[in-house]
Amino acid sequence: MNDAFEFDYLVFIGRFQPFHQGHQHVVETALHYAKKIIILIGSANAPRTPKNPFTVSERTAMILGSFAPQDAARLHCIGINDATYNDNKWLIGVQNAIESAVNDTAAKIAIIGHDKDESSYYLSLFPQYGSFMVDNYKGLSATPLRAAYFGDDIKARMVASDVLTATSRAFLDAFIATDTYAELKREFDHIQAYQSAWAAAPYPPSLITADAVVVQSGHILLIERGGEYGRGLYALPGGFVDQQEDFLTACVRELIEETGIDIDKATLLNSQKSAQLFDAPKRSLRARTVTMAYYFELPSQATLPKVQGNDDARRAFWLPLNKLDASLMFEDHYGVICQLLKI
């Protein structure tokens, strides 16, 4: 490696939704101190949502296009999957990605970043590497940029555009004319309206739901969501707990209402294997939502119980477990499934 550089590799971890001048500042600093930069692009397996609107390939293009060719050639972009409720699984993914990009066991490696907010906790998770802290350039964050991009305030959108890189700005200007943008904006507007309905409440709302993880013979029962939120994504059958219900009663009611599963309640209840509360504060974009998920493993049969999508579900269906795909799943439901099934 070139002795002129303090590091052989600096690793920059982020979601870059979108890539802005603050991110660019970190990479420019890294280019000054390291021969090569590994950029790990998070939420690679997440579906498009107002929080994660752009794919890994789109974000990679924004990143590489923001630098001169000779500098872009020193950047190595790698997508990293989310592993909700399993930090160790996420860490393994990061470690494997770094090892795949580094071909020198003696290389000097450090994680570069800044303590922006609670999302930067990962900076303390890599004792095997050094750390290289930089300033938070202009205090920039992608969250308000996305809000301006999907919102209706043209002035706010113009201000947000001024802190994007030229390549990111050109991409977002083109993306706004696509059907994909229109669908994301529709969902963003729904979320804003949903939150506005609670604006007069004395405290921000905390909602409670119940979800069913039903498995039989290597298949899991899912629904395809209709409605205005998460439309088209796969989800666990479930919904809000009524005032007079406990969690389990709500779970069984919602399961039957949404899937019409052809099974008697006694068999279902006798098949319960476990239950777990999921209360990550940001697990839902609409409001703080706490859910109790129940795992039922039905007795093996030659045929799967008949199901029919009803209520809020476009359809209900049995999916082979090996076909589970986080990029098609609503909110944290993929993580909930992995946690309860231990997969």
What pLDDT shows up at residue 1?
A: 45
- When the candidates are 3.40.50.150, 3.40.50.10380, 3.90.79.10, 3.40.50.720, the CATH number that belongs to 206-341 is 3.90.79.10
* Token couple for 167: 């390549």
**Taking the domains of the chain in order of start, what are their residue ranges?**
7-179, 206-341
Give yes or no for a contact between 214 and 221, defined as CB atoms under 8 angstroms apart. Answer: yes
For the entire predicted model, the pTM comes to: 0.90
- Mean pLDDT by 10-residue block, N- to C-terminus, for the chain (343 residues)? 80 96 96 97 96 97 98 97 90 94 91 70 79 88 95 91 96 97 96 91 92 97 93 96 96 95 93 96 94 96 91 91 96 97 93
What pLDDT shows up at residue 120?
A: 56
Whether the CA torsion 280, 284, 288, 289 is positive or negative: it is negative
How do residues 58-67 score in pLDDT, each as one tens digit? 999 999 999 9
- Say which CATH superfamily domain 7-179 falls into: HUPs (3.40.50.620)
